[in-house]
Structure 1
Amino acid sequence: MYPEAPCAGAIRNPAAGLPALHQKISSRILIHSQKNTIPWRPVMHYLANLFQQSSDFEAYATGYFQRVNELARKLDLGAVRRAMEYIGKTRQNGNALYFFANGGSAAVAAHWVNDLMAGANEPGKPAFRAYCLSDNTSTVTAIGNDSAFENIFRDQLRAYIRPGDVALAMSVSGNSENIIRGLQAARDAGATTIGIAGMSGGRMPACCDVFILIPSTADEYGPVEDLFSLLEHLITGWLTMSAGKWMHHG
């Protein structure tokens, strides 16, 4: 029997750790609501408030792009660099990379594997061995049906992962049970764990050797997933060009 993840503790308040951000948003929205008498949602819903403040689609789009840029500037680049280094070492050491996530984040995980395998690797040179645990629908649905959806990543990692490998998970909330169990399984096997999450990080930081926070409010699934893609392209592009391969074709 495997013990359940000790990192699966109580869910933290999504507002924890973001007082400055919320104060900034709150004051901005309060001024707007007083001026225009438009009802506004709690500060935990940045996009809803942005929508209410926007006079038209162009104004909303401008605010959205500004918000993505703001979130990018809040990233801990030291943590991003450490994640890049762990990923890069697997290529030199012959270790494997396992990516996993749910929903739209799973699409980013698959994209990350694509860019490492089809974009970064070159014949005759050390190669990335990258796998997306969300992609095999037969395996995912079998585990989900026969065991539990919470175990779809845990059970795969127990079979595949080895010491020295890297497991990288993405979650907007940081609280998805299948993500937490997957990270713990990777840790139990002696692998390095990397997590990227939005909001306040939820339960994910306690399960990760490297954790990247995208500090956001409760309705910012789109901006957080945009940052997942940005980080994927940033890290993979750097590792690709550092190995002497340029990003252009032809």
Structure 2
Amino acid sequence: MKDYLENYITAHKSALDSIPVEEVEKLILHFRKALEEDRQIFVFGNGGSAANASHFITDLGKGSSDKTYRRFRCLSLNDNVSWLTAIGNDYAYEDIFLRQLENYARPGDTVMVMSVSGNSPNLVKAIEWCNQHNIFTVALVGGKKGKLAELASQVIVVDSTHYGRVEDCHMHICHMICYAFMEREELSNQ
């Protein structure tokens, strides 16, 4: 068991080392612009990525916003179970995020999705809709990249196909974004 755990940690360190810091920096600066322009930020995913989206929006909407001159307008589209199930039941599961964006999103807003495979049909459909409506799109994906890497305005790839490691690294990226606003005054001041 000890060898397994040590190998797991070694592989996880390798996945962490693959995070493209320059791309994370670009994303932080994009979020800074969204804050300045009072734009809405939407984040969502499936399974573990849905949990990461909720966690990220909690940190951005509360922790980061407590340190900035203006509060982030941000929302996880995973968090309204009644709406998700109504859309899935009455239309199609592939529409659960797209249909919410039709209500909320406006040109100039930002949509960030997280997906290890990069091929989740409900995320692909939402990003395609965003691209048709002048909404900036970001995809955090795993090593296979998938369709999302072809569609999103910005792509951040974690070079692993292991679901746990990629989801952990996506959360590392989310924490880097939030803590940049909490700990760097040049980002939080007007």
Structure 1 contact 158–186 (Cα < 8 Å) conserved = no
Superposition pairs of residues 1-250 of structure 1, within 5 angstroms: 56=1, 58-122=2-66, 125-217=69-161, 220-243=162-185
Taking structure 2 as the reference length, the TM-score comes to: 0.93
Counterpart residue number, 1:46: none
- Counterpart of 1:199 in 2: which secondary structure? coil
- Counterpart of 1:126 in 2: which secondary structure? coil
Cα pair distance change 1:198/1:245, threshold 3 Å: closer
Aligned AA (1:209): S
Structure 1 contact 163–189 (Cα < 8 Å) conserved = yes
Aligned AA (1:105): S
Task: Give the total of aligned pairs.
Answer: 188
Q: Distance in 2 between matches of 1:145 and 1:181?
A: 17
Q: CA deviation at 1:124?
A: 8.2
Structure 1 contact 175–203 (Cα < 8 Å) conserved = yes
Q: CA deviation at 1:123?
A: 7.9
Q: CA deviation at 1:106?
A: 0.4
Give percent identity, aligned residues only. Answer: 32
Aligned AA (2:18): K
Q: Distance in 2 between matches of 1:144 and 1:103?
A: 15
Taking only aligned residues, the RMSD between alpha carbons, in angstroms, comes to: 1.8
Q: Distance in 2 between matches of 1:124 and 1:113?
A: 15
1:89-112, Cα deviation, whole Å (9 max, x unpaired)? 111110010001001110000001
Aligned AA (1:197): V
Aligned AA (1:120): S
Structure 1 contact 199–214 (Cα < 8 Å) conserved = yes
Q: Distance in 2 between matches of 1:76 and 1:103?
A: 24
Larger mean CA deviation between 70-79 and 193-202 belongs to 70-79
- Counterpart of 2:173 in 1: which secondary structure? helix
Q: Which runs of 5+ in 1 are unaligned?
A: 1-55
Taking structure 1 as the reference length, the TM-score comes to: 0.71
Structure 1 contact 158–189 (Cα < 8 Å) conserved = no
Larger mean CA deviation between 114-123 and 194-203 belongs to 114-123
Q: Which runs of 5+ in 2 are unaligned?
A: none
Q: Distance in 2 between matches of 1:190 and 1:140?
A: 24
1:94-142, Cα deviation, whole Å (9 max, x unpaired)? 0010001001110000001000111011388211111000110011000
1:154-177, Cα deviation, whole Å (9 max, x unpaired)? 111122111111100000100000
Larger mean CA deviation between 86-95 and 72-81 belongs to 72-81
